[in-house]
Amino acid sequence: MSTPSHSAQAAGGAGRPGGWLAAVNLIARWLERRERLDALFDTLPAGLVGAERARCQHLVFGVVRHFGRLESALGRLIAHPPRFSTRAVLFVAGFELIESEGTPEAEGIAAKVVHHAVEQTKTLASAAEARLVNAVVRKLILALAGAAPPKGVAATAADLAEYFSHPEWLVRMWIAQFGAEATRSLLEWNQQPATVYARWRATEEPVPDFLKPTAWAGFFEVESGKWTKVEPLLRSGKLYLQDPGTRLAVDLLAPQAGETVLDVCAAPGGKSLVIGDTIKTGKVVAMDLPGARIDRLKANLARANGVEVALVQVDVLLEPVMALREHKLPESFSAVLIDVPCSNTGVMRHRADVKWRLQEGDFKKHPKQQLALLHAAARLVAPGGRLVYSTCSVDGAENDRVVAEFFNSRAGGPFKLESKVQSLPWVTGHDGAAAFLLRRS
């Protein structure tokens, strides 16, 4: 939760409405079209920088993170929803109220939230809608004042879903998988703003003092207010924004110096870069579909130091061997990583809109694609070689069950499962992920 002073600034505007208005505009678009947040943020004006840009992102993430609770409360107060711009004002004001909960300044912040929302609506919409906003936000203060479902009491999935703003079907699925107590812990984890982590790549140089050490070697916490110091390090390649959860799959693969390693489904390239930094000498072959993320993959591969890199743009489900031959690369590898597309249920802190895009059917569709990709990657593993299958999902349907299905097929015969690792974020303290090490006999 942000500090009271931040909430007060967000409510009152402090004479700088840029970030607040930008957030309202993005939320209006999100409510109307359900665009991905990363795509929405890409549309922000270049002139919106520094504290105001951060403020906009904070408000947008906050609204989307708490959307279910806000939507339920507003639905009980408004019979006919107003235009999207006015609705966005209500959602942003609602998040500001949630953010101030439990603080000594909550009452004063609430008054500022009401005043600011009303004044802005007069410009964004009309005087009539400003009166509506005035009435609704005042009632919203009480509507959002309910406490969280008490711990130790068997709260229903519906109660947990509404308060912690997750689809009810997803909460039910997690309760069946993890139990009620662990599910609540996961919901609480997802509702907190994401910590920004970075990996220090310039290992021959001392780590700057402003990077906060963590429990995970090489990873540091980037605290707020340090961005002007961080940006030059990112541009130089000395620092790379990355969650510690990403290390699990590469650590399990244990790439060796001088080895040629294949990274399938490599975009955007964060794990390819970790592999390169780990082996220091050798070659990283990054394979992925042609598409929008290839440019970012190329940029990350260009940051690799001391290793050769090769980019193979091909669908691994079609003719990867032919593409490897065209690039004069090996047709099989001693080390293969495949980090498959998944539901992203382990990274919902970072990707707050994922839970509103997911459908129940995705947990049948994704495993079918993941199994096909695992089969395709297995064909590229040399005898005695290692294959790591990984996801950023916490769900068994995309992890253990996919690997079990692989071993139930003829293709699994030459392989043995040597080890696996899973991160449950409310336990590990970083993003959720799973990785399985398979070795070909």
Instruction: Name the residues annotated as catalytic.
Output: 392
Give whole-number Cα distances, 296 to 49, 129, 265, 368, in Å: 22, 43, 13, 27
How would DSSP label each residue in 327-376? TT--SSEEEEEEE-----TT-TTT-TTHHHH--TTHHHHHHHHHHHHHHH
Distance of CA 366 to the CA centre of its chain: 17
Distance CA 278, CA 89 (A): 48
DSSP 433: E
Is there a contact between 441 and 416 (Cβ–Cβ < 8 Å)? yes
Burial 228-241 (b: 16+ CB within 10 A, else e): eebeebeeeebbbe
Short-list 67, 52, 109, CA closest to 117: 109
Nearest-angstrom CA–CA distance, 439 and 441:
6
Neighbours of 150 (CB within 10 A): 8
Q: Could you tell me how far CA 340 lies from the centroid of its own chain?
A: 15
CA angle 151, 156, 160 (to 5 degrees): 65
Q: How far apart are CA 16 and CA 385, in angstroms?
A: 58
CA distance 330 to 336: 12
> Which of 146, 181, 124 shows the shortest CA–CA distance to 73?
146
Round to whole Å and give the CA distance between 306 and 311: 16
Phi and psi at residue 182, to the nearest 5°: -65, -35
Q: CB–CB of 285/262 below 8 Å?
A: yes
